Each structure stands twice: as C-alpha cells, then as structure tokens.
A and B are shown apart, each in its own frame.
Chain A
C-alpha cells in the first residue's frame, strides 16, 4: 500500500537531482567525446570542488551559490593543468596508460583529502537549508529548486559554448577527427586541455549546487561518479543531449529505487542498469556506434 503522492514526490525529487547529475555527467561525456578517455578522476575532482565550496563558506563566509563563478574558474584551471601536465606527460597516448594515470590521480586526490580533512561527514547549515516550497502535490526544498534551475542554466550555457562558438566548433572537430583538425591548424593538445578544463569547471558549478543538498566526505566523489558514469553510458558517450536526458532518467530511477528498496539496495537499480546498458547497448541512447 503506497501513497501515490509519495511516488510523485519521489519522481520530482529525482528530476531535480537529475538536473544536477546531468551537469556532473556533462563534464565526463565532454572529456570522453573529445579526448576519448574515461576520466576516472572525475569523481575526485567533484569532491575537491565540494570541499572548496565548504571551506569558502566556513572560513570566508561566502554563500555557496555565490562561489560558482570562482569555483568554475578554479576548477577549470585544475582540469587544464591535470590534462596538460599529468595526463599528457605520463600518458604517451596509450589507452591503458591513461586509464592508470587517471586512476592514480584519483587515488592521490581522494586520499590527500582523506589525510587533510579526515573521513568526517561535513554538511552546510544554512539559513535556508530546510526551507521548502509547497506546491500542493509535492514539497520542493529550496536548495534542490535552486540547484536544478541553476544546473539547467549552466548546462544550456555550456551547450551554447559547444554548439555556437569557435571554441566549441574546434572541440567538435577534434572529437571527430583529431588528425584532420591538426591539419587545419587547430592546436589539438590545447583543445584537449581546455576541454578537460571545461569538464572540471562544470564540476565546480555542480559542487557548489550540490553541497547544500548533500554533504561532503572524501568518498562523496566516487558515489556521484558512478552515477555520472551510468548517465554517460545511458545517454551515450560524448553526447551532451544524452547527458541531460540520462541525468533525468537516472535521477528518477535512483529516487524511486531508494523509495522502494531502501537507501542502500536502491543503488543496485542504478548499477544493474549500468551493467545492462554496457552489455546490451554500449553506445547508449544518443551515442555514436561503439
């Protein structure tokens, strides 16, 4: 016996979460689309962003949402540097090498965080953390509303960047045909680094939006990273539309899974879907043929 309104609430929460998840997934799918690598350090970058926002509030008293521009800039730099000086230097192009390097980077970042800030769960207590908007059939926490709205806006902005600017065009060229892009004079290595920067920047924004809703620990990154991977695989590696659609779908599935199977078992729904997609339709909904 369940109350239909609880299900509705769950779906709406899922959709709101989904918008933010989509933003997290966007970075991952962008990096895969252009650099053709799966960045295993994606989750740890998100975690760093969240800690950044946390300390900005604790130490500098800045409201998380106001940190977004700064966080995006800082994370952009981090991503750029990671690609330019770690991945490229050590990678040498081999796919297996890059896998190991991003894994190594993830280890370093996650455990540095563990060492510096311990495993304690930290949460922000803001004046509006518990405020909700009552729309009759559901309760919408203010933090989630802001997060999903902002996520959609930022997502749209990044979409415009990719589709309408010269930089975006260069990114798409490199994604499709790196050799050809080089031939026409595009600095492919710089595009790689810039793309990684953009991917990390979206994490900067996502981190600021997520902290008020969730919490931060050194492991928080991997939790959301797995969600991001599932979204990217569902939506199609390299597809921005896929990241958005996938985000909403996974957000709802996660939410409903939690509702019906409980907090921990609910996660299985997402994993099972992940494995199923990889096995049955690796290119996802909108991706190119694998």
Chain B
C-alpha cells in the first residue's frame, strides 16, 4: 500500500516538472494501459480465467458513455457511473453464461472472443452507435464535463483512476477474496472442497473486471473524442489489454504497470526505428509474449518469480506434464 501511495504521489508531481505534451501524452497512455491491464489481471491473473475479448466490457462502457452524453444529454459524471455499471453488467452476463455451464480455459477464451465479435458486428450495424463510421463526442471543456483543455488535466484524471484501481486490487489481493481467486486459479475442485463457491467468485471477478474496463472505456471517450466498432470491440483492443498484464506479470499488483511501460516504450521505440509501418510493434509484442511465457512465465515482475526460483525447473516441468496428462 505504501508503494502505491509513493508512486502515485511521485507521479502527481510530474505535470509540475514536465511540460512536454509528448511526455505527458506518453504517460497518460501508459497509465491508461496499466489501468486496463489491471482489470484483465483481476480476472485472468488472479482468478485464472483468460479472457480474449475484454474489449466487450471496454467498448460497452465507451458506447454507453457516448450515447448517454450525446443522445440523452446526461452529465459526464453520470455517464461515468453508467459506463462502470454497463461494464459490470456485461461482465456478469458473459460470466454467467460461460461459468454457469462450466466453461474453462481455452473454451472460455473462445466464448469471450466470440462475444466481442458479436458486439463489433452489432455496433457496425446499428444507427445509435453510428454504424461503421462511429461517433464523435462534442467538445465541452470543464470538470463537470470531464473534458480538459490541457494534457495535465487528463493526466490527473487517469492518475486518479489508476490510483483507485491499484487500491482496489491491493485490497482484494490481501484479503479473503483474493485468496479465493487464487485458489480457484490453482485448483477449482480443491477450492470447492474448502467452502469456496467457485461460480459466485468467478462472477465477482468478472464483474469487477468488467466494471473497471467499462470505466476505461469512458476515459477513452473523454480523451480521444471518438469511437467506432473496431476501436471499441476490435480484437486489437482485447489483445492490447491483456498484453500489459501478461508481459508485466499477471496477478501481481504492479505487473500491469510494468507491462504497460514495456509495451508503450517498445511501441515508441519500434515506431522511431521503422516509421509508422503498421503491424511491426505488434509483431514485437507477439515475440515478447512468447519469450515471456518461455523465460519468465510470471512476467517481467515475476511476481512468483521469487517463489519459482525455489522450485527446480525439472520438478516444475514434471508437475506440468503430470497436470497435462
């Protein structure tokens, strides 16, 4: 907890010291990435349910926020709440459909993928979502509209969101909820034998995860002022969300932060080297994912890396083989 406060406090000073829009923009993107990554991590890293369609929750929050603000004139703050609720609701729905019927592992991943695609197709077809061309958010600067005229304003906004999510994650991780999530991840039957209501807890995990991602969707809208089906629900969005968590170390408190940093810095680096050629940074990400799984299965942070060091590699592989058989 002390670490969170320290980091947030240090970051809060940044806009005072740095005026470069480029740097602030980069930091905003990093913090945002970490924010979304943490949302994935709660479901995937802690609870062990890998979602390949996290964009569903993100996109719903984004569209709901736009529709409520533009079509219904709701205030931005209400739209924020609505986005969070929408994310949670979609999370619980997809979760209920999947977990109630016992979908796990790759099957669950496939279902999340399918749902994201369904949302994308629906969003391209409806008028209220602007169809394939998307929608814009009218510029109305001011705190009451949660739109800011300076990068610094957005920086504080995303920093606040980041701080909240880190505290929430920390609180979950240290207590009974987190312990039960981890138990479910490691062995569902053993968890059930110890009085853990597995279905209920998976739903809690996906609900919280969805709520956070929905909130992320809201922020995206306020910052970029635009949404379209690919941005909201596209596979690229889902992939970027999980990359930060996986690269940095899923299930750990600061893994997604580290992952976001690595991700964005690598992205900037490849862009400066190869120009704006599309795709090359994702190639890099893909290679990094494979490398991470191979050499640092618990991410750069190696949240369990310290523990992993205590297990001789052979026994780990043997255990994994025994599990696979």
Contacts and interface: CB of A to CB of B under 8 A. Distances in A.
Interface in B244-294: 246, 277-283, 285-291, 293-294
A124 interface: no
Given A93-B321, A271-B114, A279-B101, A112 B283 contact: yes
Contacts of A115: 277-280, 283
B228 interface: no
A68 to B, nearest CB: 28
B85 to A, nearest CB: 23
A288 B239 CA distance: 31
Contacts of B324: 36, 93-95
A272 B289 contact: no
Contact of B97 (A107, A111, A279): A279
A111 B118 contact: no
Interface in B117-164: 117-118, 121-122, 124-125
A272 B294 CA distance: 35
A281 to B, nearest CB: 10
Contacts of A264: 121, 124-125
Interface string A107-119: 1111111110011
Contact of B283 (A40, A92, A111, A118): A111
Contact of A108 (B103, B283, B317, B321): B283
B171 interface: no
B25 interface: no
Contacts of B97: 275, 279
Contacts of B288: 104
A66 interface: no
Contacts of A265: 121-122, 125
Interface in A266-287: 267-268, 271-272, 274-275, 278-280, 282
Interface of B: 48, 50, 52, 97-98, 101-103, 105-107, 109-111, 113-115, 117-118, 121-122, 124-125, 235, 239, 246, 277-283, 285-291, 293-294, 297, 316-317, 320-321, 323-325
Given A92-B320, A118-B278, A265-B121, 8 more contacts: A38-B110, A95-B106, A104-B289, A111-B278, A115-B280, A218-B279, A265-B125, A282-B101
Question: 9 nearest interchain CB pairs?
Answer: A107-B286, A114-B279, A90-B294, A104-B289, A108-B286, A93-B320, A111-B279, A111-B282, A115-B279
